Amino acid sequence: MWRLPFLGNLHQLLGPFPHHTLRDLAQKHGPLFMYLKIGQVPTIVVSSPEYAKEVMKTHDISLASRPKTLVAKTVSYDSTDILFAPYGEYWRELRKICFQELLTPSRVKAFQPIREEESFNIVKLVASKVGSLINLSEMTRRLSYNIISRAAFCNESSDYDEFISIMEEIVKLSGGFAFGDVFPSLSCLDWYTLSKFNYYKLRASRIVERIIKLHTDQDKEIKSSTKKSGEEEDLVDVLLKFIRNIFGAGSDTSATTIEWAMAELMRNPRVMKKAQDEVRQVFGEKGLVNESSINEMKYLKSVVKETLRLHPPVALLIPRESREKCEINGYEIPTKTRIIVNAWAIGRDPKYWIELESFMPERFVDSSIDFKGNNFEYIPFGAGRRICPGISFALINVEFPLAFLLYHFDWNLPNGMKNEHLDMTEKFGITICRKKDLYVIPSKYDPPSMVKAQKI
């Protein structure tokens, strides 16, 4: 593939949707493993399951580090959180804390009452607007934010509107151009973008700190005399970075996935009816909406899987960087090479998916394909050592609220809009969200659980 002096292949990546452009380049030039020079940065782009397996399994340890991008330097506190930290002893300790302490199955299950209460709060809000046009995107953001904030800090935050606006600005900035990411020698030119990142990071940190202060003020049993100095303060810093990860990335990706799922269901009435029938049958037989029934809903789980295939929250997985030289299928990968895995393109590989642009949850109903990084044709959460550590937490924060919305309401598009005319345009950033908010009209469905709740 030809390159320009200084720019390399950068000119070929122009456009609003880099994940689309990279897929098209891979299909045109093949094989689906491209070497590009993006500015001054040697870059490998992976767009096929076969090479994704090479990167994230066969040579996982050689390619497990992270580059220091502008986002990593700013939003992730100079690459010190679990998402952006370079591979090494520090990152391994972060990972151990995450898997063994913070996001264990028992801890995720302990947040069940929070999810149930916040989901029911949204149902009450939607019920008050039956027959009226509502912004479902805004409501899902509020729902996810409240669940995450209560799970992280054991209380609700009154800073919802400010935090959401901050996250939207950070997502917008992350989808923009940073000189230092492609021309490290020109990183000084990022002063304006850097100042914007730092401004929004400071505002987000103040919100988190206010919530932490409220939480600690309410905890009467914690006394300063019991604290140890030095090592424990370092642990507190580590835990705060985890909390910021969960609070920011967790709320944004969960809300985005619920929003895409509802949009796809609105466009596909057959799928919507089938999902609602299953949810209403399972919950209706029990007479109460509860989280323990989610595992009985194979079709709902397939709806979520299909949503993540077509709309992975992070279309271009967080870039990796080679720690040492290695060879993949005859290609030598030098040290400090950036590796971009196009999860969006891999989920549309025609060798693995039939009717790849169609929303067909049925493809997952009797399938053994999962999210855990064992099936490289389906990696919405990544794979290998750098797989997303919060998969189980993220999934239940999508599945249960979605089941709640499908159970309690029927849904229509406004102004007689035809299903196929619903705008599905993306907006590129850290997460790939909808360009336009989803507006719908709910109509009330009176299941036994609502009647029971009203009597309480």
Q: Domain residues of the chain, as ranges?
A: 10-455
CA distances from 51 to 32, 56, 58 (A): 8, 9, 10
Phi, psi values for residue 440, rounded to 5° = -140, 170
SS3 of 371, please? coil
- Which string of b and e fits 166-200 if b means at least 16 CB within 10 Å? bbbbbbebbbeebbbbbbeeebeebeebbebbeeb
Distance CA 301, CA 242 (A): 27
Is 234 exposed, middle or buried (CB count within 10 Å of its CB: 0-12, 13-18, 19+)?
Answer: exposed
| Type of residue found at 72 | A
pLDDT of residue 335: 96
**Kind of pairing between the strands at 33-38 and 41-46:** antiparallel
Q: Of 247, 43, 21, whose CA–CA distance to 155 is shortest? A: 247
pLDDT at residue 222 above 90? no
pLDDT at residue 208 in the model: 73
- CATH superfamily, region 10-455: Cytochrome P450 (1.10.630.10)
Query: What's the chain's Rg over C-alpha atoms?
Result: 22
Is the model's pLDDT at 231 over the cut of 60? no
Q: Distance between CA 183 and CA 117 in Å, rounded?
A: 48
Instruction: Name the 3-class secondary structure at 181.
Output: helix
Instruction: Using alpha carbons, select from 278, 253, 254, 275 the residue that is nearest to residue 264.
Output: 275
**Confidence (pLDDT) at 244:** 60
Confirm if 69 and 367 have CB atoms less than 8 A apart: no
pLDDT of residue 393 exceeding 80 = yes
d(CA 62, CA 87): 10
**Residues β-bridged to residue 327:** 332
Return the SS3 of 430: coil
Evaluate if residue 305 carries a pLDDT over 50. Answer: yes
- Give the model's pLDDT for residue 156: 61
Q: Could you give the angle at the alpha carbon of 239 between the alpha carbons of 253 and 56, nearest 5°?
A: 55
Q: Which of 29-33, 77-81, 103-107, 398-402 has the lowest mean pLDDT?
A: 29-33
- Residue 403 has φ and ψ, to the nearest 5°, of -60, -40
How far apart, in whole angstroms, are the C-alpha atoms of residue 246 and residue 362?
31
Is residue 205 within 8 Å of 244, Cβ to Cβ? Answer: yes
Q: Give the tens place of pLDDT for each residue, 127-150.
A: 999 999 999 999 998 898 888 877
d(CA 78, CA 237): 13
> 80: pLDDT confidence band, cut at 50, 70 and 90?
confident
The pLDDT assigned to 345 comes to 96
Q: Is 82 exposed, middle or buried (0-12, 13-18, 19+ CB in 10 A)?
A: buried
Segment 35-65, tens digit of pLDDT: 899 999 999 999 999 999 999 999 999 999 9
Binding residue per annotation — 433?
A: no
Q: Are 254 and 308 in contact (CB under 8 A)?
A: no
| Phi and psi torsions of 33, nearest 5° | -155, 95
Length of the chain: 456
pLDDT tens-digit readout, 177-208: 788 898 888 889 888 888 998 898 888 888 77
The pLDDT assigned to 160 comes to 65
132 CB contacts (<8 Å, ≥6 apart)? Answer: 441
Whether omega for the bond prior to residue 269 falls within 30 degrees of 0, making it cis, is no
